[in-house]
Structures are given as C-alpha cells and as structure tokens.
Structure 1
C-alpha cells in the first residue's frame, strides 16, 4: 500500500504543479497585457519553478520504471501526464505572448 500511496503522491504532484504552472503562465500574459513586464517575467519564472517540481515527480516515476519497478498505469496517471504536458505547452506560449506584448509596446526583447 505504501507504494500505491507514493505513486498517488507523484501523480498529484504532477497535477497540482502543472495546474499552478499554467495559472502562473496565464498571470504572466495578463501582466504583459497591462504593460507590467517585470510582473510578467516574475510569473514566468514562477511557472518554471512549478514545472521543475512537476518534472521532479515525473522523473521519479520514470526512474522507477527504468529500474524495472513497473507501475500500474491508471487513468489518473495518464491525466497527470496530460496535465503536465499541457502546462509545458502553455508556459512556452505564454513566453512568446509576453515577448509579443513587449514588441508591441516597444520594449527591447531579452
């Protein structure tokens, strides 16, 4: 049962951190939309931190699998992977949107 709980904890880590990353990325877009590019950058950095936490949870699961400790694939696990991949895509697009708002405002891009 302890292994099942550990898997559930990793899955929930992906869902929670993926959701937080997506929310922070959206906040970055909204900040850029109002011209607050410092806040936008901070929110993108925050999103990156959440994605790093999600990645750590995912890496733990992948490491166990590679070592032969096969985990039963559940719908919740598939959902968590989907959540994380969508968060990564959203974060990437948010960075591009922030750059676009900077360009429109005449702010130099990094």
Structure 2
C-alpha cells in the first residue's frame, strides 16, 4: 500500500470515528445528557477537522504538477463518501441537540 493510499484509509477511519461520536451524542440526547452530547459533538467536529486536513493535503498534491501523485480513484471516492456523510451526520445531530435541549 502506498503512502497516499494509507492516508486515504486514515481519512476513511477518522471519518468513521467522527460519525460514531455524533451518533453516540444522539444517544445521549435520549437520556437527556446534553453536556456529554455536546462534548461528543465537539470531538466529532475535531475529528472532521483532522479528516479535512488530510483531504486538503491529498487534493493539493493531486493538483500540484510538480508532485507525483498516484491515481487512486475509487479509494479516494470512497473516502470522500465517508467524510461527507460524517459531516452531514454531525451537522444534523448537532441541530437536533440544539432543538431538543
């Protein structure tokens, strides 16, 4: 596995962890533990930022003609899918927490 592919797999993993934290926050809303829910959303947001930084680096290298980048295609599309759904889940759950509190 190339370094770039490892970074993409890391992006997938971080996005999955972010989404898991967001859904854990939603479970806390059911028990009215809003403080923990907000903490978990903050953790999710931090993970999304970490994923965003990896994504930005990968895209920047892809666009830089001076840096050789492998065409990972489907793997990167898969990573993008995970990253975008984790952001969407976090945004929706964060909104639900604010509405239900």
TM-score where L is the length of structure 1: 0.83
**Bigger CA radius of gyration:** 1
Distance 2:35 2:96 in 1: 14
Tell which has more relative contact order, 1 or 2 (C-alpha 8 A, sep 6+).
2
Say whether 1:51 aligns with 2:39.
no
Q: Note the residue ranges of structure 1 that are not aligned, 5 or more in a row.
A: 103-110
Q: Note the residue ranges of structure 2 that are not aligned, 5 or more in a row.
A: none
Give the alignment partner of residue 16 of structure 2, picking from 11, 15, 19.
19
Instruction: Write the deviation string for residues 18-49 of structure 1: whole angstroms up to 9, x where unpaired.
Output: 00000000011111121101100100001011
Give structure 1 regions of 4+ aligned residues with deviation exceeding 2 angstroms.
none
Distance 1:37 1:100 in 2: 11
**What value does the CA root-mean-square deviation take over the aligned residues?**
1.3
Distance 1:65 1:79 in 2: 16
Hey, what does 2:76 align to over in structure 1?
Answer: 77
Asked if structure 1 preserves the Cα contact closer than 8 Å seen for 2:5 and 2:72, the reply is: no
Deviation at 1:74, TM superposition (A): 2.5
Distance 1:75 1:42 in 2: 34
Hey, what does 1:5 align to over in structure 2?
Answer: 2
